[in-house]
Amino acid sequence: MLGAAASLYVWALRDLPRDLREALAGALERETSVTGIRVLETIHRNVEVADTERNLVCQDTGIAVYYCRVGERFPLHPAGIERALKAGTERATVEHPLRSNTVHTLTRESTGANVGYRVPIVHWEFVPGWDGLDVKCVPKGSGSENMSFLKMLVPADGVNGIKRFVLESIVEAGGKPCPPGIVGIGIGGSADYALHLAKEAIARPIGTRNPDPLVAQLEDELYGLLNETGIGPMGLGGDVTVLQCHIEHADTHMTLNPVAVNYQCWAARRTSAHIGADGAVDYDRDF
Amino acid sequence: MTVTHKLTFPLNDPAAILALRAGDEVVVQGHVIGIRDRTQIRIFDQGIEPPIDLTGALLLHTAPNVRKLGPGRYEKLCIGTTTSARMVRFTEGLGERYGVRAICGKGGFPDQAIEPMQRLGMVYLAIVGGAAALETTQIEEIEDVAWEDLMPECLWKFRVKDFGPLTVGIDAHGNSLYHDVQNRARQRLEQLSARL
Ligand code: SF4
């Protein structure tokens, strides 16, 4: 379990998932601006160099975020899973060695090898009756995480208010979050839950659609609108501003209409593993 | 049409900087000086003179990942670029007091950099953020380092080869791609909102 966590983190930092590589290739085909093509070609060269030199895709090893889907009958208690994820993150950082980013939020002093109080961040979902575990590792860089936005719209602002806020946020972000990336949107729930959902949305395989057809339609529409802003690769202008737009939603209070935006840069790193009740680890990236 | 410029830093010929236009491509040889937030806070807020000469320099916004080999000697592991906007307030001092000619980073500088860059003959060169694997291969050697107590936000001297491609984001004539892109995006935002 500890070894699996360490591998997931380093693997994510070195090797981009196939779905993302395809999205980046598609972006280069669509882009027409000179600067945009230059940026996208450089990104492709960089991904190749990371593969051949076995170096990291991006220097920002991020803050490690894990999503766990735990079966009710999985033999290791979540407290043990969390301990293993933390120890694995630390081991990967020390052994590779990776840049450590974690600091105390007030003193700004380092708290260790990419670990600290409540870090890495672990999210949980529990599956009744099942005996397995799915773990997804998403190292989240600060350049894109700094471009996070929340607005408590009123119900009368409606769906158009949501669209407008998302568009404004991405224009405001400009080149800072290393576009083109994945725009994650969380709508409904409460303030904190909307932000949580937005982060869950960036962690989905790229181009997947929300099972609710109304929400999926909004994903398609916003994807189109965002690419009409002209922000372009690295904010230097161009046709491809975002690779995708993913939305997660929750039902909400009748007088609430929260919308949250979380940005994931072009280096949208993501790895996952399935762990059986017998401890066998199966690495893949299908969730 | 855009032009590709091959420049060697440090560069003390003002005409070479004036030849650069927003949108042009630049590939760099020679030396690049790595700096970050804390390095510049020490220079400007704490008033401590940088021990490495910055005349004619190209600065890079970075906090490299390195391995220590011996006293003052480091091997590169992974060197990338950080978001520049946080450090815009140092632009004028860097040009005026130390003769810095160019600043390389990611994400661009806000409009407050345009005027000092024009007045002092400086440019902002945009790198592809996150493309650290490639950037690391273009840095041949870490030749010098000062202020190791700020690790990794020290003052670094890198020797580079074919560093780039970079894009002139802000030139010394008052043009900024970031300003233009934002302006156009805000106009489009209004049009798109009207269509919703
Ligand atoms: S925003 Fe993403 S690609 Fe850009 S430097 Fe940060 S982690 Fe790397």
DSSP reduced 3-state for A262: strand
| Domain spans, chain B | 4-195
Interface contacts A/B by beta carbons within 8 Å: 157
The DSSP-derived string for A7-32 is HHHHHHHH---HHHHHHHHHHHHH--
Give the max Cα distance, chain A.
55
In whole angstroms, give the CA distance from residue A48 to residue A39.
14
Q: Do A58 and B132 touch (CB under 8 A)?
A: yes
DSSP reduced 3-state for A187: strand
Kindly indicate whether the domain formed by B4-195 is annotated with CATH number 3.40.50.620: no
A157 touches chain B (CB under 8 A): no
DSSP annotation of B41 reads I
Q: Contact A200/A248 with Cβ under 8 angstroms?
A: yes
B78 touches chain A (CB under 8 A): yes
Burial class (CB in 10 A: 0-12, 13-18, 19+), A76: middle
DSSP annotation of A112 reads S
CA distance A19 to chain B (A): 18
Q: How far is the CA of B128 from the centre of ligand 1 (A)?
A: 10
B184 touches chain A (CB under 8 A): yes
Residue of the nearest CA to atom 8 in ligand 1? B130
In whole angstroms, give the CA distance from residue A163 to residue A218.
9
- Cα distance from N-terminal residue to C-terminal residue, chain B: 36
**How does pLDDT run across A62-84, given as a tens digit for each residue?**
999 999 999 999 999 999 999 99
Give me the percent of chain A exceeding a pLDDT of 90: 96
pLDDT of A287 over the 90 cut: no
Ligand 1 pocket test: pick from B83, B86, B136 the residue with the most ligand atoms within 8 Å of its Cβ: B83
Interface of A with B in 167-226 (CB under 8 A): 167-168, 171, 174-178, 225
The model carries a pTM of 0.95
pLDDT of B7 over the 70 cut: yes
Q: Do A56 and B78 touch (CB under 8 A)?
A: yes
Q: How far is the CA of A71 from the centre of ligand 1 (A)?
A: 33
Q: Contact A25/A245 with Cβ under 8 angstroms?
A: no
In whole angstroms, give the CA distance from residue A48 to residue A269.
15
Q: Which tokens sit at A96?
A: 């590779």
Give the model's pLDDT for residue A286: 76
In whole angstroms, give the CA distance from residue A259 to residue A120.
25
Sequence-distant contacts of A28-33: CB under 8 A, at least 24 apart: A30/A239, A30/A240, A31/A232, A31/A233, A31/A238, A31/A239, A31/A240, A32/A238, A32/A239, A33/A232, A33/A236, A33/A237, A33/A238, A33/A239
**How does pLDDT run across B71-127, given as a tens digit for each residue?**
999 999 999 999 999 999 999 999 999 999 999 999 999 999 999 999 999 999 999
B38 touches chain A (CB under 8 A): no
Q: Do A49 and B134 touch (CB under 8 A)?
A: yes
Which of A266, A264, A285 lies closest to A274, judged by CA?
A: A285
Which of A182, A164, A161 lies closest to A229, judged by CA?
A: A164
pLDDT of B168 over the 90 cut: yes
What average pLDDT does this structure show over A108-136? Answer: 96
Q: Contact B60/B195 with Cβ under 8 angstroms?
A: no
B112 touches chain A (CB under 8 A): no
- The dihedral formed by the CA atoms of B40, B42, B44 and B46, expressed in degrees to the nearest 10: 160
How high is the mean pLDDT of chain A? Answer: 96
CB proximity list for A82: less than 8 A, separation 6 or greater: A122
Q: Do A42 and B63 touch (CB under 8 A)?
A: no
Of A60, A97, A163, Cβ closest to residue B196 = A163
pLDDT of B1 over the 80 cut: no
| Domain spans, chain A | 2-11+57-139+269-284, 142-264
**Which ipTM score applies to this complex?**
0.94
Q: Helix axis angle, A2-14 relative to A78-95, nearest 10°?
A: 50
**How does pLDDT run across A205-240, given as a tens digit for each residue?**
999 999 999 999 999 999 999 999 999 999 999 999
**Number of other CB atoms surrounding residue A213 within 10 Å:** 9
Contacts of B165 in chain A (CB under 8 A): 38, 42
Residue of the nearest CA to atom 3 in ligand 1? B130
**How does pLDDT run across B17-71, given as a tens digit for each residue?**
999 999 999 999 999 999 999 999 999 999 999 999 999 999 999 989 999 999 9
Give the model's pLDDT for residue B82: 94
**How does pLDDT run across A125-165, given as a tens digit for each residue?**
999 999 999 999 999 999 999 999 999 999 999 999 999 99
Give the model's pLDDT for residue A134: 96
What average pLDDT does this structure show over A260-283? Answer: 96
CB proximity list for A215: less than 8 A, separation 6 or greater: A187, A247, A249
pLDDT of B2 over the 80 cut: no
